[in-house]
Amino acid sequence: MAVLRAFKAIRPTKDKAAAVAALPYDVLSTKEAREIVKQNPISFLRIDKAEVDLPEGTDLYADEVYLKAKENLESYINDGIFIQDEKPCLYIYRQIMDGRAQTGIVGCLSIDDYVNNVIKKHELTRADKEVDRFRHVDTCDAHTGPIFITYKGGGSIDEIIAKYEKTEPEYDFVSCQGVRQIVWIVSDETDINRIIEEFKKINSLYIADGHHRSASAVHVGLKRRKELGSYTGEEEFNFFLAVVFKCEELKLMDYNRLLKDSENRSAEEIIRLSEKNFYVTEKGAENFRPSEKHTFGLYLDGLWYELRAKDGTFDENDPVDRLDVTILQKNFIAPVFGIEDPRTDDRIDFVGGIRGLDGLKRRVDENGWRAAVAMYPTTIDDLMSISDAGLIMPPKSTWFEPKLLSGLFIHKLSD
């Protein structure tokens, strides 16, 4: 049984929403964020990546960064850029990208559901990234970025969404990424209670994106429970901000790899080593995108090659071992390039499919990477089966598009 809770969102005024809304903090570099803020001084990046308001070279994890985020959030509220709804509401958030829509319910989920694995995970988190968001949430006393959650089903929730989509939305704009963003406010108590009751019928929720943010939010809540000693469970810090989508509407894109070769080997030698675990076919200079599982596109010295995994080199019955990201890591990246830990080795980088194969090639041709690998996307069924089994995906297995924007909804912990 999943617990969903309405909340009094702090959010931008209708006329400011398009300017405030920003990509998540971990999608942009500090340099990119500084450039955006120069052009748009009310971008939410001034809260989510507050180092943009501090001198260049400032330690990203310095106390001043988190204090500046808190200061900027309070300024946005005091200056009327943000308002707060007077009563707890739920929100319907629709994104339309390339003609495809995904529509989620914005509300708060229980940290106990996270602890008790009603909310299921598929990734390990890094301690440094977790501490960063912990300090951000704790200092700001707010969840500033929603967690991307999915589930199987629909039921009455679809009926309520259909009702609201016939009404005028609170927000309706196209982001600078070309994605249409639409928000309806669900303030009617009957509708709110109906949605909450439907969520009670859902046995499992799955984190699609935002493992570090969710872990951090939970740890802040547990910290505050400990500090109080006595709590009812109804305090706002017992819940964290999320957008929950039906899995059928979501799109995963390829999450591609860039590789460096510390031994400076020839293309012929790399291909020869690859042939132990893959059938290798040259595809020419035109971009090659894999069209099915267990195939990969290797870009090397101006040419593309198809790598097709040989039978017996992976276990089709093992939900982790049969993942393309696992096959590639175990049978190509580690044995051919010597990269054993992709989470820490600086000889590997990861590029979301939204940047396209031309962007991938450019990094090899112009920026000193030895090779690139184009992946076939992980599926939502893969994600759910691994989460259900209590297993962990390899790093950088999933890339969802479109990304949820930050700044449209803020959840205060002490409200």
Q: Kindly list the structural domains of the chain, giving each domain's residue range(s) and its CATH number in brackets, ordered by start.
A: 4-252+401-412 (no CATH), 255-376 (3.30.1760)
Q: State the DSSP H helix or E strand holding residue 151, giving kind and residue range, or none if neither.
A: strand 147-151
pLDDT for res 138: 97
- Output the CA–CA distances (angstroms, integers) from residue 114 to 120, 240, 387, in the order listed: 7, 10, 13
Q: What is the pLDDT of residues 220-273, one digit of tens each?
A: 999 999 999 899 999 999 999 999 999 999 989 999 999 999 999 999 999 999
DSSP 318-352: STTTTSHHHHHIIIIIHHHH----TTT-TTEEEEE
* Cα gap 135→363, rounded to integer Å: 34
Per-residue pLDDT of the chain (415 residues; tens, 9 = 90+): 899 999 999 999 999 999 999 999 988 899 999 999 999 999 999 999 999 999 999 999 999 999 999 999 999 999 999 999 999 999 999 999 999 999 999 999 999 999 999 999 998 887 888 999 999 999 999 999 999 999 987 677 899 999 999 999 999 999 988 999 999 999 999 999 999 999 999 999 999 999 999 999 999 999 999 999 899 999 999 999 999 999 999 989 999 999 999 999 999 999 999 999 999 999 999 999 999 999 999 999 999 999 999 999 999 999 999 999 999 999 999 999 999 999 889 999 999 888 899 999 999 999 889 999 999 999 999 999 999 999 999 888 999 999 999 999 999 999 6
* Cα gap 353→73, rounded to integer Å: 32
Alpha helical stretches, state H, 141-256 = 156-164, 189-199, 211-228
> pTM, whole model, 2 decimals?
0.91
DSSP 197-224: HHHTT---EEEEE-HHHHHHHHHHHHHH
56 and 38 Cβ atoms separated by less than 8 Å: no
276 CB neighbour count, 10 Å cutoff: 12
